[in-house]
Amino acid sequence: MENTESGRHVSRADLLLGIIPSVYIAGFAAQATLSVSLPLMLALASAVAATGLVDALVVHPPA
Between 38 and 62, name the one with better pLDDT: 38
Please, are residues 49 and 24 in contact by the beta-carbon 8 Å criterion?
A: yes
- Residue 4 included in any domain: no
Q: Which domain holds residue 40?
A: 12-59
Rounded to whole angstroms, the maximal C-alpha distance in the chain is 44
Q: Which helix (H) or strand (E) covers residue 50, if one does?
A: helix 38-54
Cα 14 to the center of its chain, rounded Å: 10
Quick one: what percent of the chain has pLDDT higher than 70?
89
Residue 54 domain flag: yes
**Does a structural domain hold residue 3?**
no
DSSP helix/strand/coil, 9: strand
Contact indicator for 41, 50 with CB cutoff of 8 Å:
no
Total tally of structural domains belonging to the chain: 1
Is 7 domain-assigned? Answer: no
pTM over 0.85, yes/no:
no
